[in-house]
Amino acid sequence: MRLTDCVQAYDAHACGEPGRVIVGGVVNVPGASMYEKMCHLRDHGDRLRRRMLREPRGYPAANCNLILPPTDPRADAGYVIMEHVEYPGMSGTNTICVTTVLLETGMLPMSEPVTELTLESPAGLIGVRAECRDGKVTRVTFRNVPAFAVYLERPIEVPQLGTVTVDVAYGGMFYAIADAARFGLRLTPDEGRDIVRIGEMVKAAAAEQLPVRHPTQPGFSGITIGQLTGEPHGPGAHRRNAVVVSTGTLDWSKPSTWTGAIDRSPCGTGTCARMAILHARGQLGLGEDFVHEGILGTTFTGRLVEEVQVGPYRAVVPTLSGTAWITGMATYVVDPTDPFPDGFTVGDIW
DSSP for 209-251 reads: HS--B-SS-TTSBS--EEEEEE---STT-SEEEEEEEESS---
* Catalytic (active-site) positions: 91
Low-confidence stretches of the chain (pLDDT < 70) are 1, 250-258, 349-350
For residue 175, the model assigns a pLDDT of 98
**What 3-state class would DSSP assign to 205?**
helix
pLDDT tens, residue by residue, 15-73: 999 999 999 999 889 999 999 999 999 999 999 999 999 999 998 889 999 999 999 99
| Contact by Cβ (8 Å): 208, 246 | no
Q: What is the pLDDT of residues 166-178, one digit of tens each?
A: 999 999 999 999 9
Closest to 169 (Cα-Cα) out of 302, 338, 294 = 302
What integer pLDDT is reported at residue 348 of this predicted model? 74
Could you tell me the sign of the dihedral formed by the alpha carbons of 142, 147, 152, 153, in that order? Answer: negative
What local confidence, expressed as pLDDT, does residue 252 receive? 64
Per-residue pLDDT, 253: 63
- pLDDT confidence of residue 250: 64
User: Domains in the chain and their CATH numbers?
Assistant: 4-144+325-334 (3.10.310.10), 147-320 (3.10.310.10)
* Rounded CA separation 49/61 (Å): 14
| pLDDT for position 345 | 84
Q: Helix or strand or coil: residue 36?
A: helix
| Cα–Cα dist 73/233, whole Å | 44
Note the pTM of the prediction, 2 decimals.
0.95
Residue 8 contacts residue 331 (beta carbons within 8 Å)? yes
Question: What per-residue confidence (pLDDT) applies to 315?
Answer: 98
The reported pLDDT for the residue numbered 258 is 65
CB contact at 8 A, 71 and 78: yes
H/E element holding 34?
Answer: helix 34-44
